[in-house]
Structures are given as structure tokens and as C-alpha cells.
Structure 1
Amino acid sequence: MFSKPFRVKSNTVIKGSDRRKLKADISAAFPSLCADELSELIPNKEELNVVKIYAHKGDAVTLYVLHKNPLFFEVEKRLHPTVYVLWRYPALLPTFKTWSPVLQKLIGGADLMLPGVVVPSSGLPHVKQGDSCAVTSVNNIAPVAVGTAAVSSAEMHSLGMKGRGVCVIHTYMDSLWAFGDKSGPPSLPDTESKAQGENGEECKSEEEEEEEGDKCVEEEENPGKSVTDQIWSGTEALSLAEQEEEKDEKGNEEEEENHDDQRTPQEIMDTLLVQCFLHALKSKVKKSDLPLLTSTFLRNHMFSCCPTGKQLDIKKSSYKKLSKFLQAMQQQHNLVRVKELTKGVESIVEVDWKNPELRFFTVPEETDDDEAAPVQHGGEGETLYHPPEITTLYSVSARLESLFLDANKRKGTILQPAEVRGIITEYVKKNELVDEINKNYVTINPTLCDCLLEKSEYHEVESLKWDDLFSRTMGRMQECYEVVYPGQRPIIKKGHIEPIDISVASRGSNKKVTLIKNLEVYQLDPASVATALQHRVQASSVLQPIPGAKDKVLVQIQGNQIHKVGSLLLDHYQIPRKYIQGLDKALKGGKKK
């Protein structure tokens, strides 16, 4: 959950009544804590902050912070301790032991698989599915991960210790840990392991345990070994066959990902910033462009050099501001010279084209930035987006059931519009209700009267036109819709399909922003759409959760960009215009405001 940076919504000091409620909640969730320990964790007279954040996937999380260290975090009204608390009270949660090399996988965002669990002589801790638990190493009982049990202890044994054991939520060295003082885990030796050594049983040294853990990782890649299920992934466990098949192709990519996992998000953003900077200087900027406004350089050149699937955000780097970054490039690397030609406005006035860093920089192979098709989930080798086929359907309602009985269509039966018209036509002909004088009219019999007419029309309306008959019938049925994506089974849902909603809102200082909602309904990845828009309009974009809408986020991009958004959705993603709402609010000519 915290493997990527999160966004802070608010940070306030907790009130006295809320502090008491928090104490009661912690006491109920963790009954092993005594009154003194509880008072030590939540002191009465020291400042305790409540920080509301949004995780990178949009989950709303509440943090309780003391002395700048997050103590507990609340997700979906459930409290979990952080590693900072568990280092003080390591017995607070049931713990699962694993090898040290496995911990590196967990820190990288993986779940703990059962083959990687070291079963002590006392047996596995007693947990039920969904219970909070911690993960430690065989050498140190200081927990380094917090999660929930994927299955109960009994099921772990019945599954033969295969499959997922702990769904990891928070780990040492993730973004939540980095929100605190970034201290490391204390050294807390495993007393049980020591006891085994004293009793004459085999007790391995730290180096031997390290070797055992390395073997554990090696064996997960060898199908002939006994521990074939020890396969960890950041989001899911891959089968052994799949991993063997993809190992050669993705070996280099996995090494890069593991290297990224060891760096902080800030360091990763710094690297991306330098890459885009060098890329822009080498392939976008010419001598004739100088002097070049720094803001124009960022907007028109650096943003367009950002790799597909990534988002350049200077605020998330260690520099925080473009001016500080360019100053570092000037003073430390002598790549550019920046000068204030107009008061308060900086420009790049000189570029050292012979600088070794610039000369030997290799431009990454990318498709055309503006027209590059963002893949659905950013994965390698995925097919391009194809719009769904959407069909309006109708469900037989209780009021109309008698009208459809002859066709054996009961309440709740879902029909195509053509089927509805066919059944009604057959009913009219079977009951000889076509008007003999004017065949464009249908005579109303008692069944049609009860199903289609209002009470005020009972004694006034004796016949209806065919079109009116069909429209009244469908108007009294439950509307549904069927969505079909290429290669997938049809999805049928009741009600109207939500259109993609595009709107313009005002923020501070009357700045305009464009908001896009309901992309998920059409299986569009908001992050991919945001990146594509950022490249097209050269403006920053962010993802924000929609209150009350689970698993949905909206894309916010600076300025009135409705014209560009409409062009992307209509031309690139080929979404039909009738499923896009708000295109009429675009500025004339598609200009920014």
C-alpha cells in the first residue's frame, strides 16, 4: 500500500475527546497492551497529530503521528501498528518468520508466500483469515513488515504450506516508514533460536542462515528442487512455468526494478529529472532556440521527453523547484548557464554541447510522444486499447410480465430492443389488435391498458400508434446495458451506463483545472490517460480519489483542456461521442484559458 509515495490531505492536532477514543480503539484492537504501555504510546500531554492521506491507488488512510513518527494507521476503520510501534512492542502481533533474502522482496512490495515461512518448533502462530500479523527474520524478532493473514493457520497446514501466507500492507523502508524519522530496526535476538542451541539442537550461525535464505531464493527458480513455490511478486505470485519462461526476457528489467526498490521515491524522481533534462538538451533544443525561458524548456521539452507510463513532477524530487534544479546543473555539472534577462524571469542562455555527460548520453528509444498509445496498465507487451461495444438492453418489469407471458419471458428476463419489438408485434397479431381501418394503429385491450396506460387514460385512449406502443413498452421496462471488450465475456449491468464526465473547476487565484471522471467504466487507466494528456498539453496532472466512489479516481489537469481531452478520447481511444459528457464546455478554438 505504501510502496509508492502518498499524498497528504490534512495534518491536524488530535482533540482530547478523539485522543480518548483512539486509546479505547487501540485497547480494543490490541488487548495485550497494558494501561502503562497504552499511556506510553498515547501520552495525555504530548502533541499527537492526525494525518489524513491518500495512497497511490486512491485508498483513504488515517495516520496517528507522535514525535514525527507514525504509530498507527487506519484503513477501512481498522487499526494497524507501524514498524515503529512493533520495534517497541514486538509481541504486539502474531509473527511469521522468514529468511533475510525474503525480507528484501517484501520491502520491494511483495507478499509473503508460505514456502518462505520458517516454521518454529512451537508451530505457526494462531491466526484467522484477515487477522493483523507481522513478519520477522530468523535472526531478529524486530518486525519489518505488517500485513493481514491470507488464510488461517489451519488452512496453511492443509494447503501444505503453499500459496500466499501474508498480504503485506506496510514494510520497513516504504513511504510510511519514510514519513517518520527513518530509523532502522533494533537488534532483538530470537530467544527461541538461542534456547534450541543450548539444548544441543542444531543452531545455525548468521552466515549459514544467510546461505540458507539464498538457497531458498535460488530454489524458487529451479523446478527440480523441493521448494518450488517460493516465488514472490510485487502484486501477485507467478507460476513457476511463467517465471521460467519470462526470466531470460525480463532479467535486465527485473534487475532495474530491484535497483529502483532500493532507492527512495525522491531519488527515483531525481534520476528521471536528470534523464529528461539531458534528453531535452540533446534532442529538442537547438542553438538557435537560445536564450530559452526555463518555464518553456520544462513545459515544451522536458515533459515531452518523459518516458511513457511515468510522470515528471519536480515537487517530488529533492530539488522541489525548477530554478534549484537548473542551478545544480549549472554549478555542479556545467551543463547550462542560466541568467535572469528580465526581472524575475530566468532563461537558459548557454548550453555546453561538448560536456561529456551530454555527449555520451544515450537518448531512450521511444515512440512519438504525442501519439504514443498508453497501454492499459503500463505492462510490457500489452495490446493497445480498443473501445467496448455497448448495447442497450431491457429487462421485463413486474408490471409488464403479463404482456410477455405468451413468449415465456418472466420478470427479470433481459431482451434486446429488437426482441422486445418482435414479441409485442407477435402479441398484437395473435390477439388481432391491428386497427382494420388504419393499420398504423393498435387497438388497446385490457392487458395493454393495464401495462401501458396511465389511470387518466383508461377511458380516453382506445388505440396507439405502433411507435408509441413500442416506446411506452420500453419506457416501462428496466433499462440495462451490455459492455463487450475484445477477447472478454460480455458484462451486463442494470441502469444507464455512466458517461465519461469532463468538467472545468476553479481553484485558488481563479485558476482553471479540467476534471475527468468515470474512465474506469470504459476500462481506461486514469494514470495512462493523465500521462497522455500531460504530454499533449504540457501541463501538470494529478490523480484524486472520488469521495464515496470505491476504486475510482478522477484526473485533474491544469487549464481548460476540454478540447484536448475530447480529442484524445474521441480520436485516440475511439470512445463514441454519446458516452462523453461535457464537450460543449470547451473553449472556442481549443485555446487554454
Structure 2
Amino acid sequence: MIVPHVDAGSSARRASYLSVFQAPLTSVMFAKPFKVRSNTAMKGSDRRKLRADVSASFPALNPENLSELMPPKEELSTVKVYAHKGESLTVYVHNRNPIIFELERNLYPTVYTLWSFPDLLPTFTTWPPVLEKLASGADLMLPGVVLPPTGLPEVQQGTLCAVNLVGSRAPVAIGVATMSTKEMLASGMKGKGFSILHTYKDQLWVSGDKSGPPVIAPIEMEAAPEEEQKEQSVSHHSVPDTHLPETQLESLCLSDIAAETPQEGEDVAGEKESADTQDSDISPQETMDNLLNQCFFHALRYKVKKSDLPLLSSTFLRNYLFSCCPEGQQVDIKKSSYKKLSKFLQVMQQRNILKVKELSKGVESIVEVDWKHPEIRSFVAPVSEPSASSEDVAGGAEQVYQPPDIISLYGISAKMLPLFQESGHRKGDLLTQSDVRSVIIAYVKTNELVHPDNKNFVTVNPIICDCLLDKCEQNDVTCLKWDDLVTRCIERMQHSHQVTFPGRPPVIRKGNIEPIDINVAQRASNKKVTMIKNLELYAIDPSSFASLLQQKVQASATCTALPGAKDRVQVQIQGNQSSHVGKLLLEHFKIPRKYVNGLELSAKSGKKK
């Protein structure tokens, strides 16, 4: 069958392409926040069943792929959720990232999984501006599908497919084909092509580590002549620049795929840098390997002390290795050749640099370091470069603001230490909620404290009694529910938080992060003013924020020193502007709603008397 090729640069094609933005909203699973019903660790039997089901659903995954997707010695969680329209789903989570979700007994991979296995599903290509619409709940219309010279993949109606963007094979969405490939071509590429279930930047993606899609180079077309490729390249790049309205052109500036659609008047230096990157013999994976090795030896040489051992591997990564990352760079082990921290540490152990041991089941710790090893002794820390200012990150017109990744951490106090000693922890170690749960589960199983008659309960031994029970409970309470056990443990630990901005090393602070506070106060003559504080904690420059807000509401805005806080500023603007402030923070800066206080202060419309 000969597939007709439609020139993407033709005016007719561009006109039909724009109709993709008019796609009606559908019941996309994760376009809006979902409600978590339960979150439990998977048992061995459940893991085996899931592995068999995934293998049956996706035969392209070999046993090695399945082991990479669901590592045997790493924890998997089953999360039961209700979607925003009431659908009941099951999400399977590994290392904070959702990897598979189940709907009506059918399994679907998430974008996190497809980034590791980009050829798992038949893939169709669309334009970068379409992504934002898909994440907001739109289905993919056929005018938005790019026709490659080799033709569309052969699929039938109901086939699960992936969607990628021009310039990269990394999938950004999954959906079900509403018609076969033959029917798509017979329709003249008009109508709805795919019912979208999940996308990059939707709420399911937000529940993971929020990493961006990798840039996976498209497969080169051997049969395409050089002149034809140049024409296609020109036509592809000319569509967004010369024929899209300004409102749609803005959506091309997606931070993770900006390099795929050059803008008119783009900096020549940026083109030169891109060309230099293409000419380099070092692949992105090798670059990440070099950065990982540099941070690893930096941490061992200058950060880790003998008194810190044994050191939980996850704590070493979070508190030591990440902090050694140069300004403007970020270690992502998934983008290295090792893929996992455990594999990287095993390689270092084979080189006799350190020793790793499971002090408790499923929890690895660094127990010994050879500081006399030549690779450690010869390492010299690189000279650090000055970091970007907060204005460049948050308010600058040439930079796209990216919200921070905020993780709650829990420190081990002296009273709680007996519960964590068996797993190799020390007083003051910081753990995530998942780490705490893993340690508690390992402690209970190691000490055989699961209640013999009811596995939902844990028998209280003297250590649990001293650490988690109040004095009035110590004589009466003999067992606790699993959730109650973990909740009590977290409540009695020292709370901290880790903030990671893209391109910067993580910053850890004590206590919970203060939310951005919106407050409305009344002044003389019944006038109201809106005050916003704590913007600096989220790398938002108050002056730039005030200027942007002033342009939107056409009201006077000023920045004043925050009383009682050193080097902190609050923004003040005339009138009750809490609604505009909230919209700016949630939609423009993408700050999660739970980190914004005062959204309820917006003026409510009422009947005029």
C-alpha cells in the first residue's frame, strides 16, 4: 500500500492542523487531581501476578526489561485512586513514579515507563503546541497528526498507541485509536483520531518525580534525499513561526521541548551551541555518567566521614551526592548507563572503592569506604561557577519559570533511634516517608511482630512501646494497625523538607516549608489591599511578580520589607486581588495548590442592593 505524503508546510495542512485546538474536552483520566483511596506495599505474590500480567499485555518486554521496570528487591506500591469523574483505578508505583495503571482490568503504561521503552507501543507524532491541550483534557484530532514520509503505523480501532512530538521519539501521551490506519487515511485525516487517557504534565505525571521527557533522536530516513530532507525541515519549522496566532505561539515555549521548535529571531549563540552539541562525540548518557562519577568521588573525598558509616544508600544520594552537583546541572541516574543507584554502587564495589551490604531486608547501606583508593585520593573538586540569580529563574522574561520539587523529610531523634538502628541509621538521618515505611516494615518482619491472628495488626514490643506509645497507653495497647504504626512514627520524627529547583542542587531546611501567603487587609476609607509573602522560598522574585501582577490588574503594586523577617519582602497591591494572585501562582508559576494560602479570600459576587 502506498501511503500518500502530505507536505506539512502547505497552507491547507496548516489550516487543518489548527483545528486540533478545538477538540472538545473528554473524560481524560488524569486531567484533574484524583483522590487517593489507599496506598499499600505489594506482596511477593501480587508482584509475580503483576509481572505476568504485564508480560502478557506487552509481549515486547523481555524478562530483562521486566526486571528493570519492576526490580525484584525494590519496593512496589499499589495505589487505589478515584479519578475526578469517579472512575476507580489502580496505579502501580516504583520509586515515587507511577509505572503502570489499571482500568477495567486493562493495563496501561505511564509516560515514565515509555521513556525507558519508547518503542513499546505504536507511536504517532504531533506538534509541540498540542501537548498543552492534551494535558488539559483534549483528545487528539487527526489534523494534529504529522504524516511521516514512511507512512503511519498500521493499527486497528481500539489499539493502544503512544504520541510523541516532532523532533523526539520520547512519548508524551497514550491513547486509544478511534479508527484503523486505513480509515484515518480514507477520512482525509479529519475527525478524532485518539481518545487520550494519560499525558506528560497531567496529574498522574505530577504524582511522580516530575522529570521531563528525554530527547530520543528520531530514526533517520535512509531513503529520503538530502534536498527533500532540507525542504521538510524548513516546512516543519515554518509552521509555528509564521502562521500561528500569538496566543498559540506562546504554548510553543514548553521548557522541556523548547529545542524542537525554533522561534523567529532566536539567539544565534543558541544555534551555535546546538550545533556544537550535535558535533560532539559524547552522548548525553556518557555526559550523565561523567557527572555522576564526579559527584560520587566529590562526596566521598570531601563530604562522607568514617563516623557517618554505615550510611543508607538513599541518604547518601540525597544528602551527599546531590549536594556535590555543580551549579546549573542536576544528576539524574535514570539518564545514565547505570539506570539505578544500586547498580552504580555495585560497580563501585567491584572496583574496591566501597562495600555495600543489606543490613535489613531490601535496604542497602554503604558500610565501608576505602579512602586510600587512588581514584578517591586523586580526585580534585572542580571550581564552582556563580549561580543564577532568583530573578533570572523566576521573573526574567527570557527564562521559563519551573516550580520546585518539594519533598518532606523526617529526621531520626534520639527517642526514635532504637526503631532505626537495625537498618543502619543514626541519629539525625533524614528519610522520606517511603523510606520510613520501608524501614518500619523491615523491622516488623525481622522481629516477627506481625500479629499471628490478624495480619493487619502489629504486636507492640518494648521498643515500639517506648518509641510510639503515650504513657497512658503503655499498659493497655498491645497491638497497632500498620497505618497507625507508620503515622505515629512520622509524627514523632523531626520534620524537614527538601527543595529542588531545576538545574540546582537540592536545599534541605528544618521544619515544613511555609506556603505562599495571600492576605487581604482593610485600610482607611474602606479601601482594601492584598499582600503576598514567602515568594522567595519558591524562587519567585517579588519585584518581577509585582510588575507582572500590576500589568494584569492595572493597579498600583509595591514591595516592602516583611516585618520580623530578615531579607524577606512582601508584595502589596491595591484592592482585593486574591483571585488574580491565585490564578497567577497556580496557572503561570505552576505552584501546587497546597502551597498557597488565602485562595478563599477572593471577593464573592452578590446581588447589588
Q: Please give the range of the TM-score, normalised by the shorter of the 2 chains.
A: 0.3 to 0.5
- TM value normalised by structure 2: 0.39
